[in-house]
């Protein structure tokens, strides 16, 4: 009912309020679909989720028979069953590659189909595993139209995964009393106090502080209020390029976030790995025992945004931070080499660190 209603409604300032309400209602119903209500909870998918290992996790998402398993087999050397019929892969198949000293876990997920977000064809479990990844590779078949890209994006969006987006810059704080306090630090084209109030009322929130720091849409506000959205970088991998002409390849290379490969012939894997590394934004820290040369073979790998010396200590062992006195750091994050730093110093890629204990 809602989508037809939204399509029927003219878009102008007068109806923006009504559309915002419909969007909120739709998002709420969707969430109830995703998280089933109480009850015995039924059995979960047999052996679906895989233990997280390595420094980062990359999931392959795509329709059946686009070459996800072939890609995994040829990248990681793990055998994932390949055959000429759809849905060969029925559960998650993990594989690990070492790249630039980091261990990256690759997950070959079963193919998803249209309607996966509503639970078709085990879609729910597949997308639930995709939510836990640090990077999603959407594997597409070059010969099939780009409609597939839109469909997969739509399935993932419907499940609260936002691809290649930053979280909206909206401050949201619930209160006990005082009504809705609405402030916008820049001009808003879509949201006004009235619309915000009605969207929040739909969630039964009547007291809150809302600060809009950028020009936001109703969907952005709903994302913030729902609070269960994950923001994951994504690369579109166009497989089977051995079946098209050079001219077509030139056009494909202009599409953003996109890498053409051939999984079967192992073409262009280095470009794909390099792009994966860029999107994962991992930071490598080399360790240096006292009086020895730094160990450049096995870095400690930290995710971007959690690269303080304290995080480095916790990654190695949680008791290290108790004995921590100071650290000596060589590299681009310090002015002098070496420099004495405390536990709050933020490290950068390929820094060398030596810890000094109490």
Tell me, letter by letter, the H, E, C secondary structure of the chain. Answer: CHHHHHHHCCCCHHHHHHHHHHHHHHHHHHHHHHCCCCCCCCCCCCCCCCCCCCCEEEEEECCCCCCHHHHHHHHHCCCCCCCCCCCCCCCCEEEEEEECCEEEEEEECCCCCCCHHHCHHHHHHHHHHHHCCCEEEEEEECCCCCHHHHHHHHHHHCCCEEECCCCCCEEEEECCCCCEEEEECCCCCCCCHHHHHHHHHHCCCCCEEEEECCCCCHHHHHHHHHCCCEEECEEEEEECHHHCCHHHHHHHCCCCCEEECECCCCECHHHHHHHHHHHHCEEEEEECCCCCCCEEEEEEEEECCCCEHHHHHHHHCCCHHHHEEEEEEECCCCCCCCEEECCCCECCCCEEEEEEEC
Q: pLDDT-derived band of residue 34, with 50, 70 and 90 as boundaries? A: low
The predicted structure's pLDDT at residue 47: 52
Structure tokens at 140: 């597409």
**What is the per-residue pLDDT across 249-258, written as a single tens digit (0 to 9) for each?**
777 777 788 8
- Kindly give the pairing relationship between strand 93-99 and strand 102-108: antiparallel
Domains of the chain in sequence order: 1-35+168-226 (no CATH), 56-164+230-279 (3.40.50.300), 283-357 (3.10.20.30)
pLDDT score, position 194: 79
Predicted confidence at residue 42, as pLDDT, reads 44
Residue that is written with structure tokens 């480095």 in the block? 312
Closest CA to 76 of 87, 88, 84, 68: 68
pLDDT, residue 72, reads 77
| CA 52 to mean position of chain CA atoms | 15
Mean pLDDT of 209-229: 82
| Cα–Cα dist 269/282, whole Å | 19
Residue with tokens 């007291």: 207
Mean pLDDT, residues 233-246: 81
User: What pLDDT, on a 0 to 100 scale, did the predictor assign at position 275?
Assistant: 87
Phi, psi of 12, rounded to the nearest 5 degrees:
-155, 180
Whether the CB-CB separation of 202 and 3 falls below 8 Å is answered with: no
Mean pLDDT, residues 328-349: 84
Residues 6 or more apart whose CB falls under 8 angstroms from that of 54 comprise 96, 102, 103, 104, 105
Q: Which of 30-39, 62-71, 159-168, 227-236 is least confident? A: 30-39
Confidence (pLDDT) at 88: 63
Q: What CA–CA distance (Å, rounded) separates 254 from 241?
A: 15
Are the CB atoms for 27 and 19 separated by under 8 Å? no
**pLDDT tens figures, 117-136:** 555 556 667 777 778 888 88
Bridge partner list, 95? 106
Lowest average pLDDT, out of 27-41, 95-109, 187-201, goes to 27-41
Q: Is the pLDDT of residue 115 over 70?
A: no
DSSP lists the bridge partners of residue 287 as 295, 353
């Amino acid at each position: 009912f809602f989508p037809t209603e939204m399509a029927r409604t003219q878009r102008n300032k007068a109806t923006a309020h009504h559309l915002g309400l419909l969007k909120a209602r739709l998002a709420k119903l969707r969430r109830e679909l995703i998280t089933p209500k109480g009850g015995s909870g039924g059995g979960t998918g047999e052996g679906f989720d895989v233990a997280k290992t390595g420094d980062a996790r990359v999931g392959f998402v795509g329709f059946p028979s686009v070459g996800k398993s072939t890609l995994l087999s040829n990248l990681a050397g793990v055998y994932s069953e390949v055959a000429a019929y759809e849905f060969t892969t029925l559960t998650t198949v993990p594989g690990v590659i070492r790249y630039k000293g980091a261990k990256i876990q690759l997950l070959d997920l079963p193919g998803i189909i249209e309607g996966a977000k509503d639970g078709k064809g085990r879609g729910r479990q597949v997308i639930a595993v995709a939510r836990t990844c640090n990077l999603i590779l959407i594997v597409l078949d070059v010969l099939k139209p780009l409609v597939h890209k839109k469909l997969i994006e739509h399935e993932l969006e419907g499940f609260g995964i936002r691809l290649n987006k930053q979280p909206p810059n909206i401050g949201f704080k619930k209160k006990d009393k005082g009504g809705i306090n609405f402030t916008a630090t820049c001009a808003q084209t879509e949201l006004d106090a009235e619309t915000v109030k009605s969207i929040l009322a739909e969630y039964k929130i009547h007291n809150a502080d809302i600060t809009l720091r950028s020009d936001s849409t109703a969907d952005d506000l709903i994302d913030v209020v729902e609070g269960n959205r994950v923001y994951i970088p994504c690369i579109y991998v166009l497989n089977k390029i051995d079946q098209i002409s050079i001219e077509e390849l030139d056009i494909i290379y202009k599409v953003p976030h996109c890498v053409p490969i051939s999984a079967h012939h192992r073409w262009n894997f280095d470009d794909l790995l390099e792009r994966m590394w860029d999107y994962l934004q991992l930071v490598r820290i080399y360790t240096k025992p006292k009086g020895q040369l730094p160990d450049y073979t096995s870095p400690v790998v930290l995710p971007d945004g959690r690269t303080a010396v304290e995080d480095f200590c916790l990654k190695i062992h949680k008791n290290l931070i108790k004995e921590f006195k100071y650290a000596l750091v060589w590299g681009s994050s310090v002015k002098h080499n070496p420099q004495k730093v405390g536990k709050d110093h933020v490290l950068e890629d390929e820094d060398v660190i030596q810890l000094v204990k109490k």
